[in-house]
Structure 1
């Protein structure tokens, strides 16, 4: 401990003299892995953060919820099933060609079928029946059913150029060959697993970016990100290590920026009707059925988790306890379900009632480098479950392996960090709760294959309800359905925490994204 503190103090001293090599350059160290810089491959947090530098969308999300103009200068709802969008006439690609309605139509087609995707964007476009081009800067989108959420859903679809993208592969984007972009920054280079380099896009139609060059560097380990900031190797870090927050807040050479977050860490039990190789009796013999199919077992597991202890002792105050997928105060949060009561004795009784008086053995899988504190949280949960008779082991798996296996429902118990990026409850309902149906773009990240007709019905109703108050009431009813059924087990919501040099200012940007545009020079 003494050595660590000494190193910390030495690094703190170094930051005084350190800084970006050029006052117009910015160096960011981020913690979410990037699967590719193809903006339509995977709906992953790290991929989104990168994409927002290079690409525009028809409309963009506001930090506080709702949407604002992006490529579309204006739009209107012509009829319940019809939306018209007017594109900016001064938007151009970095090769000088204009951005047109054809690019948008092509992008919406491509985003639904990118080869190799493990987290498709198709769910955002599931209700788009037709995209018509009226003229180069006007398009009309017809939905399959009345869709008040169409603007917020398409705010997650990045527009790529048709003249490049129609013959491009994901490898072409990764190599830079297809990186003809229209966002605030232009592509310089990409080193997978390491960094993305970019420069100011002088042809961007919007406000001029503050930073001339950006070095966007992936550092998976939170302690290593902190060390990089303190040594002056980077100017901003995200997902600050919870164990470092207090020390950084006391350091006059560092500024910590903490905001409430939307991303929830959630356990997903498997609803596979077949026996699981990751569940056995106490002697190690496979069970003849999956006990997680019994709601009493799922209820026992969720009420055995001491969420407050995890938030306090594991996360050290860097999270807020979750009782549902949306955080308090957000659109769709149900205050009637503000807490999941801790009751280990009732949990044991429920296991006995379900036919497992002696419990059973369970192996839980978590990604090692994807979600902050996921392995540590899993270990704490394993202890809570073991105390009620469910002897639990934790297997930590690289995300590149984990995502594929989890997506095939191979695990008995998996973990997902869900960003709730649209700022309202139907996003999770669509992607992690709806009955999985790839052709309809539903349940793309429903790794446990949860299926509840009442939830599916609520999603359909909410998706067609234009009255905000009525739509929120439907979402709240869906919360009751899912939490009564224990379709998922929410654990906590992350706080969004960044740290920077003291002469910089960092503000939130679209959920938990980390982008150069959220960083400015302190006034």
Structure 2
């Protein structure tokens, strides 16, 4: 891709055309599936959710985050008391009450049309009681020291509006009676969200009075929009443009280590798949990915260092597990994953596939930065060891439903690790799929491990941080040995802006106007 450059005259025009000091124009990457904050646990939906809604508890971002509970107390191992802020009101002036909390945690368990449910975060909630309008008693079915962390991911919606509202009512604005830092002005799906500051918000108000949140899926188009002065900030900067933007005095690049991991999810479906065939194209009667030796062969056939250097161009770090080094639950004894194509060939032969087979892997085209390009590189490595691989790039609107239904032989997911610790992924992408238990909502490959699930249960109820981290590290070892997922990279969080703006990380890799300020 040709690097974009900017002339001195154009730089001056960019600065001159910037919005007023109270307006912000943000070009974002992750599509929003809905303004219903409880529909899908997608990155783009979280971006929108954090602008309009609050959770009961805060997320740990190193900075201010709006939250509804001003305090919480562990009464006994299975009982928590939360105090809702006296000043917390809905945008129609109605106070936020304990009844809203109870309604929200019941609704989030089964929102019609969800393909990435939030139910896992309330899986231990047994009951929610309104002690008084501003006091909530939550009882859990097991001791859960991480309950406040789990609840930080679940946005609270109003009972008096939400009880009769559909997802479409949120998208149309009819049900957008919210309590976050912004209020909805307009929403055009697939294009933009326009919002105005909630002047009655109880927390510190954002700097920006009016924000235009504009969806620009194409990386080069995001860069062009910034350079032309059409937007003030862009996220997930194109790695192809990164160096030229760094060298550009009219642009400021803001980059930080990230939590988001790019992972492959092999399918554990025992049924024949159109995407796994013999070399003549005939579907195999037995799914070879069910054999741990085959999964291990694919895992070690990938030269991650080469892809990180040549494809990701310094925009990611090589991953051996779902959490990056230095985070809670990272296992220093696991990894790095060796690149060993000869061993990969031997494993395939041991598994009964000395001549390999054909495989199609799927990746969303506009969702994860450089994922299609990384997939093409991985396909070449797998083809070299005998697994002839082709890549199909699919629009995320189609991809998410088919991946969620386990229709793909090899799915791709970028997991944000939004709570900053290891059980978030254990619950949602690694736990054995169970709607009743709230596990595996994004476990697209249907990986299932009794030992992993036992460790998740143990970690969930362990109040000692050191012991809980040791349990998570044991789970890392289990998943790595079983090759339940194939970890690839951890993305760096990279934003670019016009001069005079400061962009700091929010939660995980979220992009919200609250993270942007004037220098």
Q: Which TM-score band applies after superposition, normalised by the shorter structure?
A: over 0.9
Distance in 1, Cα, partners of 2:375 & 2:164: 43
Q: Is the 8 A contact 2:328 2:469 kept in 1?
A: yes
Change (3 A) 1:358 1:10: farther
Give the Å deviation of 1:374.
Answer: 1.2
Match of 1:97 among 94, 97, 105: 94
Distance in 1, Cα, partners of 2:368 & 2:9: 29
Task: Say if 2:192 is the partner of 1:202.
Answer: no
Match of 1:30 among 28, 31, 35: 28
- What residue is the counterpart of 1:44 in the other structure? 42
- What residue is the counterpart of 1:213 in the other structure? 210
Q: Is the 8 A contact 1:58 1:69 kept in 2?
A: no
Deviates more, 1:334-343 or 1:465-474: 334-343
| 1:164-202 per-position Cα deviation (integer Å, ceiling 9, x unaligned) | 110111111100111111111111010000000000101
Task: Say if 2:13 is the partner of 1:14.
Answer: yes
Equivalence map 1:318-333=2 (5 Å): 318-333=315-330
Change (3 A) 1:118 1:450: same
Distance in 2, Cα, partners of 1:298 & 1:219: 36
- What residue is the counterpart of 1:425 in the other structure? 422
Distance in 1, Cα, partners of 2:86 & 2:170: 26
RMSD: 1.4
Equivalence map 1:122-521=2 (5 Å): 122-521=119-518
Match of 1:74 among 67, 71, 78: 71
Distance in 2, Cα, partners of 1:216 & 1:422: 24
Give the Å deviation of 1:470.
Answer: 0.2
Change (3 A) 1:385 1:163: same
Change (3 A) 1:8 1:62: farther
Distance in 2, Cα, partners of 1:7 & 1:240: 16
- Long gaps (5+) in structure 2: none
Distance in 2, Cα, partners of 1:472 & 1:50: 31
Distance in 2, Cα, partners of 1:472 & 1:199: 41
Q: Is the 8 A contact 2:120 2:441 kept in 1?
A: yes
- What residue is the counterpart of 2:108 in the other structure? 111
Distance in 2, Cα, partners of 1:353 & 1:9: 63
Deviates more, 1:272-281 or 1:256-265: 272-281
Change (3 A) 1:129 1:6: closer
- Counterpart secondary structure, 2:174: coil
Change (3 A) 1:439 1:218: same
Distance in 1, Cα, partners of 2:11 & 2:343: 49
Distance in 1, Cα, partners of 2:120 & 2:288: 30
- Counterpart secondary structure, 1:477: helix
Distance in 2, Cα, partners of 1:145 & 1:162: 27
Distance in 2, Cα, partners of 1:340 & 1:84: 44
Q: Is the 8 A contact 2:13 2:229 kept in 1?
A: yes
Distance in 1, Cα, partners of 2:271 & 2:106: 36
- Long gaps (5+) in structure 1: none
Alignment: residue pair count: 519
Q: Is the 8 A contact 2:118 2:154 kept in 1?
A: yes
Distance in 1, Cα, partners of 2:12 & 2:336: 44
Give the Å deviation of 1:17.
Answer: 2.3
| 1:212-237 per-position Cα deviation (integer Å, ceiling 9, x unaligned) | 10001110011111111111001000
Q: Is the 8 A contact 1:11 1:227 kept in 2?
A: no
Give the Å deviation of 1:113.
Answer: 1.2
| 1:376-396 per-position Cα deviation (integer Å, ceiling 9, x unaligned) | 111000000000000001111
Give the Å deviation of 1:18.
Answer: 2.2
